[in-house]
Amino acid sequence: MTVVHAVLPGDIDDPADPSGGNAYDRHVCRGLAERGWTVREHQVPGGWPHPGPRERADLAGLLGGLPDGATVLLDGLVASTVPDVLAPHAARLRLVVLVHLPIEGETEAQSLAAATAVVATSEWTRRRLLDRYALPPQRVTVAPPGVDPAPVATGTPGGGRLLCVAAVTAVKGHDVLAAALAEVADLNWSCDWVGPLDRDPAFADRLRGRLAATGLGGRVRLTGPRTGPDLAATYAAADLLVQPSRRETYGMVVTEALARGVPVLAGDTGGLPATLGHAPGGERPGLLVPPDDPGATAAALRRWLTDPGLRDRLRRAARQRRHTLTGWPVTVDRLATALKEATAV
């Protein structure tokens, strides 16, 4: 029997606070169990990655109660800032840290140094970790997110149904998108912003004010989070996913859109270019623009909305790209390999 202890954020299944990291964790835990692993989940509530004394003590108690030689998969949100909690157990446990988003600091360097192995969720993240920290390359592997197959979205002739799926925060670039949309207010479009509104309430309030001041309050809908069938229906109704992130390690929403043949307009940052990728014929299934550049984002939106030929090409490329996407079983296999190798150390 192969046993893995999975240490996960306490909100992993909270539908009011979805995230790509939580979705990834749930997929791989379920996938490992389907492959015959015994997955013992330990959900740790708290303000990770900035835990308080009680949360740190609870994690220390959890690790201290695990048997010698146990394989422990820790979400990086939990593990990356508590090297003092991990270090006392590094010699007797097989600690595997799953890094979705590098925290980038001395505490993360120490936490990853205490790990038997590190799994990054994108090639970009692996390169970033190796560039920043003195980690042996053979200890850092990659298990990119998968995507579930989905029906092709039909799209509308004018391409005006725009969609942004992300928590409303500065790093996701909603302020960039608001400014860009104001520059194309003369065109026919609507835009749904789907994602939690409470990560940075002051930022969300300022955006509402900006949208009202520019006359876009009725055309940009801040829907809050959606999951399951509601989110699937939202993707199915979209013409273009707009993801103006300032920083992104992978961008799971990009493959969610591509799985439906929906083109993507995204910031040229982090792992997003690789995630967007190319169709088999070599064409990108979307447009990349410099991050933090409302003018460039507006120009790309104007091209999309006014050029039927461009829309046809990008839709064709997106529908071709969907056949090259990998599913979650590939992700689980890569993670299982990393866990087995850590157990053998």
| pLDDT tens for each residue of 83-99 | 999 999 999 999 999 99
Mean pLDDT of 284-304: 98
- What is the C-alpha separation between 334 and 142, in angstroms, rounded? 7
Note the pTM of the prediction, 2 decimals. Answer: 0.94
pLDDT for res 344: 84
Mean pLDDT of 158-182: 97
pLDDT band at 217 (very low <50, low <70, confident <90, very high): very high
pLDDT for res 305: 98
* pLDDT tens for each residue of 225-235: 999 999 999 99
Distances (CA, A) of 38 to 42, 72, 114, 115, 118: 13, 12, 24, 21, 21
pLDDT band at 14 (very low <50, low <70, confident <90, very high): confident
Mean pLDDT of 11-27: 89
Burial (Cβ within 10 Å: 0-12, 13-18, ≥19) of residue 299: middle
pLDDT for res 1: 59
Nearest in space to 4 (alpha carbons), one of 98, 112, 121: 98
Averaged confidence pLDDT in the chain: 96
CB neighbour list of residue 66: distance below 8 Å, 6 or more residues apart? 5, 72, 89, 93
CB neighbour list of residue 103: distance below 8 Å, 6 or more residues apart? 49, 76, 80, 81
Q: Please report how many Cα atoms fall inside a 13 Å half-sphere around the Cα of residue 203, on the Cβ side.
A: 16
What are the strands of the beta sheet with 140-142, ordered from one edge?
Answer: 38-44, 3-9, 71-75, 94-99, 117-120, 140-142
Q: How many residues make up the chain in this entry? A: 345
pLDDT band at 345 (very low <50, low <70, confident <90, very high): confident
pLDDT for res 17: 81
pLDDT band at 18 (very low <50, low <70, confident <90, very high): confident
Mean pLDDT of 124-133: 96
- The two structure tokens encoding residue 2: 């192969």
Residue-range domains of the chain with CATH: 3-146+326-344 (3.40.50.2000), 161-324 (3.40.50.2000)
pLDDT band at 11 (very low <50, low <70, confident <90, very high): confident
pLDDT for res 105: 87
Do 46 and 10 contact (CB within 8 A), yes or no? Answer: yes
pLDDT band at 16 (very low <50, low <70, confident <90, very high): confident
Mean pLDDT of 212-216: 95
Residue 71 DSSP symbol: E
